[in-house]
Amino acid sequence: MSKGWLKSLEKVDDYRWRLPASYKPGMRVPGLIFADERLLRTMAGDQAVEQVANVAFLPGVVRYSMAMPDIHWGYGFPIGGVAAMRLNGGVVSPGGVGFDINCGARLIRTNLTEAEVRPLLDRLADQLFRDVPSGLGAHGPLRVNDRELDDIMVRGASWMLERGYGAPDDLETTESRGCLAGADPATVSQRARERGREQLCTLGAGNHFLEVEAVEEVYDEAAAQAFGLEVGRVVVFFHCGSRGFGHQVCQDYLEVMEKASRQFDIVLPDRQLACAPIDSKPGRDYLAAMAAAANFAWANRQAIAHWTRGAFAHVFGRSADELGMTQVYDVAHNIAKVEEHRVDGQSMRLCVHRKGATRAFPPGHAEVPPRYRKVGQPVLVPGDMGRYSYVCAGTERAMAETWGSTCHGAGRLQSRGAAKRSLQGVDIIGRLEARGIVVRVRNRGLLAEEASEAYKDVAEVVEVLDRAGISRKVARMKPLAVIKG
């Protein structure tokens, strides 16, 4: 591929590539891409690296515009992008968070073994498919009024817990305890409320999923033990976000930010990077609405966790407690958060944008739950529905280099259309079933678009970050049952 950036990239080491600020006039900082040569080549197919350069234009961006090995073409920011802005003079951009605000992943362990689950797998998949609605037109089991919705926006996952939807421990093992401060319902449109109201406890569609998986390999015994994972153990892994609520918040604020960018004379190489100073009214309003959407997402995943436990209890005839269904962790991978980091030896508060990137705080960090403090924050990395997913752990090096961030998944390799064309006539369900994977999907056409071929190999992605010292591999899981929209 004759991409201009390929010639400009400077190799830092086997896993780091620097895109100098001279690559494009207007870049305030260089780009830094985490990849090996093989993954770097997969980036040549779209505009993702160009977007890494574009993000470097944003006022207040500190040190680097970064990209994880799973990057692919997004809107404004690449998916897999990380950038931190100074609070003073820096900007916040909805394009640096994405439409699905606080899209994230949650992992719940069980005491069950694969051998125990196998005979009941079909029934379990049916039950989960019923209890956690997915796909177009899905409505959740919860009905909330305006006041309750306001509470959810402000309080997040704890709102669900107070109503008995979850175990008390769940908050401790959720990033930010399932609640971002500063959410203000007054900054959220009526439309976002209406879109979100009936979608609590729904999975959505596209790349969202709920999987029953079994741990097939452990790389770091101490961390795996702390996380309650061992080979053969059955776990539940799901991926979803703030549903129509967050999508509408983003849609609403893109318009606000378009105007704000003009008002504040911010020069942008791409309109999708529309942004506003963090300390301006539009900037503050967006952050307050984004926090509301993030809290909605945490409430949503909390509800899904509850109904998932219920489905297991129903099928296995034992309570979730008896089944040992404790939560390993819940992480956001589309979010902007104000965090404390070290810059040039000094502690500084920054607005860290993670768009398709996961927080990966190191051992000893105050925000890592006490039970994991020796091993680091769990990082949940879904792969694709045919292969495997990973659990990793955060590191000091991530804290020093990437604002405590790592990858969020495999990253797409093929477009939806290309995947569909290349898999025409292939019986995807049959292929998965032949490998012992049970599939429940509302829209069968979606399967080809979400097949393994459409994604990079997540093993390569986590390997690069492990070798680069950004996040440590802890365990790998294989899918037993896949629930999709």
Partner 1 sequence: MTEQPPFETFDHTADVGIIARGSNLAEAFANAAKAMFSLMVDLDRVETREERRVEVDAEDREGLLVAWLAELLYMSEVDSVVFNRFDVDEISDTRIAARAFGEPLDLDRHNPKLMIKAVTRHMLQVEPANGGVQVRVVLDI
Site residues for partner 1 per CB under 8 A: 46, 72-76, 79, 99-100, 135-137, 191, 194-195, 204-207, 244, 247-248, 250-251, 254-255, 258, 271-272, 412, 415-418, 442-443, 445-446, 485
Distance CA 271, CA 292 (A): 25
Q: What is the CA radius of gyration of the chain?
A: 21
Residue 408 a catalytic site member: yes
* Residue from 198, 160, 180, 30 nearest 101 by CA: 180
Residue 365: phi, psi to the nearest 5?
Answer: -70, 140
Q: How far is the CB of 176 from partner 1 (least distance, A)?
A: 23
For partner 1, the closer of residues 206 and 277 by Cβ is 206
For partner 1, the closer of residues 88 and 263 by Cβ is 263
For partner 1, the closer of residues 208 and 478 by Cβ is 208
Q: How far is the CB of 58 from partner 1 (least distance, A)?
A: 17
For partner 1, the closer of residues 207 and 406 by Cβ is 207
Centroid of chain to Cα 444: 24
Q: How far is the CB of 73 from partner 1 (least distance, A)?
A: 4
Q: How far is the CB of 134 from partner 1 (least distance, A)?
A: 9
Q: How far is the CB of 271 from partner 1 (least distance, A)?
A: 6
* Residue from 160, 248, 235 nearest 201 by CA: 160
For partner 1, the closer of residues 74 and 90 by Cβ is 74
Cβ atoms < 10 Å from Cβ of 172: 15
Q: How far is the CB of 44 from partner 1 (least distance, A)?
A: 13
* Residue from 453, 458, 416 nearest 431 by CA: 453
Distance CA 316, CA 307 (A): 14
For partner 1, the closer of residues 108 and 410 by Cβ is 410
Catalytic residue from among 239, 247, 306, 408:
408
The sign one gets for the Cα dihedral 217, 372, 333, 438 is: positive
Sequential DSSP letters for 263-326: HTT---SSGGG--EETTSHHHHHHHHHHHHHHHHHHHHHHHHHHHHHHHHHHHHTS-TTTTT--
- Strand intervals (E) in 290-411: 327-332, 334-343, 346-355, 358-359, 378-381, 389-394, 405-406
For partner 1, the closer of residues 421 and 435 by Cβ is 421
133 touches 270 (CB < 8 A): no
For partner 1, the closer of residues 204 and 228 by Cβ is 204
Centroid of chain to Cα 129: 22
- Strand intervals (E) in 73-170: 79-86, 91-92, 104-113
274 touches 261 (CB < 8 A): yes
Distance CA 117, CA 98 (A): 37
Q: How far is the CB of 419 from partner 1 (least distance, A)?
A: 9
Sequential DSSP letters for 393-437: EE-HHHHHHSSSEE--S--BSS-HHHHHHHTTT--HHHHHHHTT-
Q: How far is the CB of 47 from partner 1 (least distance, A)?
A: 9
Let me know the angle formed at the C-alpha of 462 by 76 and 308, rounded to the nearest 5 degrees: 85
Residues annotated as catalytic are: 408
